[in-house]
Amino acid sequence: MKRNRKGSRHRRQTLQVWTYEQARRVVPYVRSIMRSLRECQIEVQTHSLRAKRLAGQAGRPNRARILSQQLATEAVTEAMERVQKSLVDLHTLDIYCLDAIRGLALIPFVHDNQLAWFIFDLFEPGESLTQWRYHQDPIEKRRPIAEAIEQTPGNNYVV
């Protein structure tokens, strides 16, 4: 009996990796996308909370409450579309949002022949790239950027 191996095949994905200098040059663009992404995500949360509160009010809804709830729901949908557009803009560069509200994004690079990530922090005063982590590190692990600067070849990395 032959096994069906279609489900077990691993798809290879090529990831653009950045040098430190390339990452520094793209920071202003990433900053503008992350600001927009953060604002849209806050908008989604605000309108979602409003719609949830309106839906949870006791009693039979009147016309004004129904319209307000519908407007809040439409606002959530529009804000989610803007979030998705911003995420696509980042993913086009192979940069990934870690936390939109906290303004954190990950920029891939290679360090010691391993996939690693520069951590972009929207709220870091001055330089936005001050930390990095290996892909296998726990998500909260942070390393000083000085360790990574010396070895960041810019190529593609196959995941």
Residue 141 within a domain: yes
Range of the domain at 49: 14-158
pTM value surpassing 0.75: yes
- Overall number of domains in the chain: 1
Residue 88 within a domain: yes
Residue 28 within a domain: yes
Residue 107 within a domain: yes
Residue 134 within a domain: yes
Terminal Cα-to-Cα distance of the chain (whole angstroms)? 32
Measured torsion, CA atoms of residues 18, 20, 22, 24, in degrees rounded to the nearest 10: 130
Residue 3 within a domain: no
Residue 2 within a domain: no
DSSP string, the chain: -----GGGPPPP-EEE---HHHHHHHHHHHHHHHHHHHHHHHHHHHHHHHHHHHHH-SS---HHHHHHHHHHHHHHHHHHHHHHHHHHHHHHTT-EEEETTTTEEEEEEEETTEEEEEEEETTSSS-SEEEEEETTS-TT--EETHHHHT-----EEE-
Tens place of pLDDT for every residue, the chain, 159 residues?
A: 555 555 556 667 788 899 999 999 999 999 999 999 999 999 999 989 988 888 888 888 888 888 888 898 899 999 999 999 999 999 999 999 999 999 999 999 999 889 999 999 999 888 889 999 999 999 889 999 988 886 545 555 555
Spatial contact of 26 and 19, defined as CB atoms under 8 Å apart: no
Residue 7 within a domain: no
